Amino acid sequence: MRLSYQTRQALGVTCIVALTVIALSLVYLAAQAHTLLAESELRGRMLANATYQRAFTLVRSRETAAADLQADAGLRAILLSAIGFAENVTYATITDVDDKALVHSSPTLEGTLVPPQASLEQLLAGGPYTQLRGVWEQRNYEVTQPLLLGDERFGSIRIGVSTVLIWAGLKQALKPIAAVAAAAIVLATAVSWLMARRFLRPIHVLQSGIARLGQGEEDVRLDLPDEDFKDLGTSFNALSQSVSTIRSQLVEQARRAESVVERLEDAVAIVGPHGEVVFANAAMKALLPAIEPGQALAATVAASHPCRQIVEQALSLRASRGPEMADLPAAHGEGRSQQQLMAHPIADPARGLVGVMLVARNVGALSQLQTMLRYSRKLASLNRLLAGVAHEVKNPLNAMTIHLELLRQKLGRRAPIAVAAGGAPPTEPAPTEALMSHVSIIGDEIRRLDHVVQGFLRFSRPEELQLEPVGVLALLQDIVDVVRPQAGQQGIDVEVEGTDAVAVQVDRAMVRQALLNLALNAIDAMPAGGRLSLRARPVDEQQVQIEIADTGVGIKPEHLGRIFDLYFTTREQGSGIGLSMVYRTVQLHDGTIEVESTPGRGSTFRMRLPHA
């Protein structure tokens, strides 16, 4: 049974008072015992001295000592009177060196062996505990006085002192002490109980309020009339309001989180540490129709089912499992689906493992979505390509139209004059130089159109990839060997970072050409020298990142969004095809490419390709 705080406080005060009373009583008893023992030792010492004085005058030699002592009536009278001199003196005797009684207060014991008893003087020299224990044992102690004949000891005077009467006296003195102690304990209990009720009432009220808060009650208010506790009540009310607000926010956040998880396309379930299902969203219920929160997973899912197996492994090993691929029946009975299963333990620092989160992802649907996304990206790229081609074709056509019109006008400029005068048309031709300039421009624009069309055909021509594992470090080193002479002429330092273990699954020739284009562009961006860095590292199990960075002039922010467009270039002699071919190569390998540039500080191209 659990005692209340009030009861425990009252019992605590009572115990403290009781221990104090007992300690004081023991101190008093120890002092009394010491006093009584000291008095007994003093009386025994007086008797021993009196006996010694009488015996000293009687003994003439060692051989006649026994006869001299036994024959003296005065000595016997002293020994007999010792019994009545003090109530706790039990005997008085003179023994020889062998502890045989020469003279004894009980004549019948003369000539017998008297075993020596503990010394009363040594008992007095001990501590309070030793003295109380000696009294409690109720035994005989002795006061001893040696008898000397010259310098030689021939016997001892021994006065026996019993602690029986001392113990009886202590018990008698203990009765009023016990009565006072009992009264003090009862009074202390009553006072502590009343004080506990008086001073602990606010604590009980607080405890009740905290319990109500713990049970979920909102906006708990306490009324503590005592002036000393009014501030405490105000603080609690503020705390209650804060807790209610936080609880409402947590409930709302939990509701939103559950709503989000419920609407996830991934199937999610939470399984407790003992295998019971705690939560399952709609996607998981569609994937495992028998699963039900509150029931054991083992009761609703077969032992051979991959979902149950991966959860049991995570619970057993207390470690994440997966991803694992499993071919499972699709939701709503629509055939089968390829699911990626993962199980992650949920741990709490205080309680340890509290469950496992099971996630099932429909990678078949995800693959279809990724395919559609790649297709849409290619369509967007094609739209940009067609827009660029249309723009490049339109400009030469406009120029050709203008110059054809000028040529037509110059060839027929005299005809209108002759017709107006009624005469014959003029016969002299227009200047040859003027006519040939227009013809030359028209020819240039036709060649420009041919260049545009050839570039478009090369860019849009279907490519059959020859995929193979290619070591990235060796590929980068090959690029460096090609560009190092040109880089050296421009004072450019070239560095390569990577490991032999990193490889990509690509068409070597296409990727090599794309990387070479990026490296050459970087060198062209550093006419005054700089540093060209080629780095490779794995991003994850699916992708490898190749990075080409320079410290050149950089790219203007307004140009960053167009650098991969066909025919876009910022150089006078540029074709605008190189970076477009790089972008196309990356797309054909289902990779990504991004650029980061700061004008005046350089550019960094990051290409991600499939891991081999």
Please write the tens of the pLDDT for every residue from 279-297: 888 878 877 888 888 888 8
When mean pLDDT is compared across 299-313, 455-469, 499-513, the lowest value belongs to: 455-469
Query: What mean pLDDT comes out for the span 52-81?
Result: 76
Helix (H, G, I), strand (E, B) or coil at 41: helix
Query: What mean pLDDT comes out for the span 565-576?
Result: 62
φ, ψ of residue 173 in degrees (nearest 5): -70, -20
Whether pLDDT at 123 is above 80: yes
Note the pLDDT of residue 448.
Answer: 66
Q: Which CATH superfamily is domain 5-176 in?
A: PAS domain (3.30.450.20)
For the chain, the first-to-last Cα distance in angstroms comes to 69
Give percent above pLDDT 70 in the chain. 71
Residue from 404, 398, 394, 395 nearest 437 by CA: 404
Whether pLDDT at 221 is above 60: yes
Q: Are 132 and 30 in contact (CB under 8 A)?
A: yes
Instruction: Convert the pLDDT of each residue in 354-381 to its tens digit.
Output: 888 888 877 665 665 565 566 556 556 6
**Is 60 exposed, middle or buried, given 0-12, 13-18 or 19+ CB atoms closer than 10 A?**
exposed
Query: What mean pLDDT comes out for the span 157-172?
Result: 83
Query: What mean pLDDT comes out for the span 246-274?
Result: 77
- Torsion angle defined by CA atoms of residues 282, 286, 290 and 293, in that order, rounded to the nearest 10 degrees: -10
**What is the pLDDT confidence band of residue 545, given thresholds at 50, 70 and 90?**
very high
When mean pLDDT is compared across 40-44, 140-144, 274-278, 383-387, the lowest value belongs to: 383-387
Sheet holding 543-550, edge to edge: 492-497, 530-538, 543-550, 602-610, 592-598
Note the pLDDT of residue 578.
Answer: 74
Note the pLDDT of residue 376.
Answer: 57
Query: What mean pLDDT comes out for the span 50-57?
Result: 80
Q: Domain spans of the chain?
A: 5-176, 261-364, 368-460, 467-610
Whether pLDDT at 205 is above 80: no
When mean pLDDT is compared across 200-209, 264-273, 489-498, 543-552, the lowest value belongs to: 200-209
Note the pLDDT of residue 418.
Answer: 46
Whether pLDDT at 415 is above 50: no
**What is the pLDDT confidence band of residue 38, given thresholds at 50, 70 and 90?**
confident
| Spatial separation of the C-alpha atoms in residues 344 and 351, rounded to whole Å | 17
φ, ψ of residue 547 in degrees (nearest 5): -120, 130
Sheet holding 321-329, edge to edge: 277-280, 267-271, 352-362, 336-348, 321-329
Comparing 261-364 with 467-610, is the CATH topology the same?
no
The answer to whether the Cα torsion of 101, 107, 111, 116 is positive or negative is negative
Query: What mean pLDDT comes out for the span 525-546?
Result: 90
Whether pLDDT at 423 is above 60: no
Q: What secondary structure letter does DSSP report for 154?
A: E
Whether pLDDT at 532 is above 90: yes
| Spatial separation of the C-alpha atoms in residues 3 and 13, rounded to whole Å | 15
Both structure tokens of 29? 């008893």
Whether pLDDT at 126 is above 80: yes
Whether pLDDT at 495 is above 80: yes
Which of residues 455 and 220 earns the better pLDDT score? 220
Q: How many CA atoms lie within 13 A of 91 on its CB side?
A: 22
Whether pLDDT at 416 is above 60: no
- Tell whether domain 368-460 is in CATH 1.10.287: yes
Note the pLDDT of residue 311.
Answer: 84
Whether pLDDT at 576 is above 60: yes
**What is the pLDDT confidence band of residue 493, given thresholds at 50, 70 and 90?**
very high
When mean pLDDT is compared across 91-100, 209-218, 589-598, the lowest value belongs to: 209-218
**What is the pLDDT confidence band of residue 476, given thresholds at 50, 70 and 90?**
very high
Whether pLDDT at 386 is above 50: yes
When mean pLDDT is compared across 155-159, 183-187, 202-206, 501-505, the lowest value belongs to: 202-206
Length of the chain as a residue count: 612
Beta bridge partners of 353: 347
Both structure tokens of 460? 């849009």
252 contacts: CB under 8 Å, gap ≥ 6:
none
- Tell whether domain 467-610 is in CATH 3.30.565.10: yes
- C-alpha to C-alpha distances, 88 to 91, 139, 174, 565, nearest whole angstrom: 9, 11, 19, 125
Amino acid at 558: E
Helix 578-588 / helix 363-411 crossing angle, nearest 10 deg = 150
When mean pLDDT is compared across 91-100, 223-232, 257-266, 420-429, the lowest value belongs to: 420-429
Q: Which CATH class is domain 261-364?
A: alpha beta
Whether pLDDT at 429 is above 60: no
pTM of the model: 0.35
- C-alpha to C-alpha distances, 126 to 39, 44, 111, 165, nearest whole angstrom: 16, 18, 34, 20
| Spatial separation of the C-alpha atoms in residues 500 and 480, rounded to whole Å | 16
Note the pLDDT of residue 535.
Answer: 93
Note the pLDDT of residue 387.
Answer: 60
Residue from 42, 45, 69 nearest 149 by CA: 69
Whether pLDDT at 176 is above 50: yes
Whether pLDDT at 247 is above 50: yes
Whether pLDDT at 127 is above 80: yes
Rounded to the nearest integer, the mean pLDDT of the chain is 77
Q: Are 277 and 291 in contact (CB under 8 A)?
A: yes
Query: What mean pLDDT comes out for the span 392-406?
Result: 69
Whether pLDDT at 44 is above 60: yes
Q: Are 158 and 89 in contact (CB under 8 A)?
A: no
| Spatial separation of the C-alpha atoms in residues 371 and 374, rounded to whole Å | 5
Strand 152-162 relative to strand 267-271, pairing: unpaired
| Spatial separation of the C-alpha atoms in residues 217 and 240, rounded to whole Å | 10
Note the pLDDT of residue 414.
Answer: 46
